[in-house]
Structure 1
Amino acid sequence: SKNNIVDSNTVDPLSGNNLKPDTTMSKTIEADPMDKLNSVLYKTAIESIPLLTQENYSMWRSRVINLLDLLKIKDVVLTAERQLTSSEELILRTVLAAKIDATVHSNVINHTNKEDGMLIWKSINDYFASTQSANRARVWNNFSLLAYDDSDVNGFITRTRAAIEKMHER
């Protein structure tokens, strides 16, 4: 553990006061191990979130939700049961804006929501997880057109699972 020593037992020779205090005022400051762990977890969670593109919404959403859970704002963001504090909203908005590809950005962030993380979150979900028939048809077509290759069974299974997951998104 790295300790920083802060010593307030100093004498100013220019002040003319050369009386030394009779007690030593030193303090050891130790960083809380949980704070260090949380910093590492936050950094890892943020770095694991890919840029949101047209193809990776499901994985992106899952990783963003993991981060929101770490930040203890997942339920608030998913249910809108209360307003976020200004610092929570800033964190949400910053992460969302930083983790969106430019092509997606223009479709989900605009002048009406650019300063509201909750509205950006809603816009992203509305854009990607639309229940409109055109979106359902696109997801179904992607699923039904998966090509099977005898030499890549694991890849086929992975693509099938991803397609099924997209079908269950709301």
Structure 2
Amino acid sequence: MEDVTFTLILVAMDAVNPTILKTTIEAIPVLTEENFLAWKTQITALFKLGGLKDKIIDGEPALDDVDNTILCAIILAKLLTTTHKNVVTSTNEENAQLLWKSILKRFISNEPLNRARVYNSFASFIFEPSNIEKFITEITHSKDGEDIKPDVLIDHLEIHLNKLRVSEGSKSASIESAMFTSDDTLCSPGYHNPRSKTHIKDNCWKIYPEKKEAYLKKTQGSNMKPKKE
């Protein structure tokens, strides 16, 4: 299939160095669900080499029949079977510009289905508070890294942050509980006793001494008011 395609290209693009053209085509990987960025870079180089880049990317003007046939053959030959099922239809299989548009829609559009696909891939990364550098490396070196939009990244980090807060909250509660015996209801500096029956953690003077000061000032002020005769 590739030999036939290359022969057709040589006929249509006789001004292009055959060796360079052949090398460029062979360098294009088969498009899978994981290597879009590399595939896009290589096949765009072919479009540019043939002087067709702007027409493909802009979608207009229409390609002439020979160029369209050649590019369709190349694109279809460089698709994995599963990827082929997701981007090729009876409408675009004979139109290189529509094929290109369909591929972009599949891999870099902001449509809900595509965002969900990328997010599911991104969600597989494990966030470890003790090894943030590893998490960043996995993201920046992801095969789908080019698809991770800032808003998706923020959403994902917020989920990890919430999990971390819950985890840290549980640890804090465990530490506080361990510090006090079942009979002790008093708090200690910096820690609220969860067994206290007189106040909640948000009002604990041992954690928030400024609240104690505010309370004392308020009560002292009210006691100093002159009594009416």
TM-score over 0.5 (shorter chain) = yes
- Equivalent-residue separation in structure 1 for 2:126 and 2:16 (angstroms): 43
Given the alignment, which residue of 76, 85, 102 partners 2:64?
Answer: 85
Aligned to 1:167: 148
- Equivalent-residue separation in structure 2 for 1:122 and 1:93 (angstroms): 13
Deviation of 1:140 after TM superposition, in Å, equals: 4.1
- The 1:158–1:50 alpha-carbon spacing in structure 2 relative to 1, beyond 3 Å, is farther
Are positions 1:108 and 2:87 aligned together?
yes
Q: Would you say how many aligned residue pairs link Structure 1 and Structure 2?
A: 132
Aligned to 1:39: 18
CA contact (8 A) 1:143 1:160 kept: no
The amino acid that maps onto 2:91 is: T
- Equivalent-residue separation in structure 2 for 1:144 and 1:87 (angstroms): 44
Runs of 4 or more above 6 Å deviation: none
The amino acid that maps onto 2:76 is: A
- Equivalent-residue separation in structure 1 for 2:77 and 2:15 (angstroms): 23
Deviation of 1:37 after TM superposition, in Å, equals: 7.1
| Structure with the higher helix share, 1 or 2 | 2
> Alpha-carbon deviations, 1:93-147, whole Å to 9, x = none?
0110100011111221122222111111111111222212343344345346445
Are positions 1:62 and 2:37 aligned together?
no
Aligned to 1:95: 74
Structure (1 or 2) with the larger CA radius of gyration: 2
Gapped runs of 5+ residues in structure 1? 1-34
| Structure with the higher strand share, 1 or 2 | 1
TM-score where L is the length of structure 2: 0.49
Given the alignment, which residue of 87, 100, 103 partners 1:124?
Answer: 103
Q: Which has the higher contact order (CA 8 A, sep 6+)?
A: 1
CA contact (8 A) 1:52 1:104 kept: yes
Percent of matched pairs sharing the same residue? 36
The alignment yields a C-alpha RMSD, in angstroms, of: 3.0
> Alpha-carbon deviations, 1:59-78, whole Å to 9, x = none?
11111111111111001100
- The 1:120–1:49 alpha-carbon spacing in structure 2 relative to 1, beyond 3 Å, is same
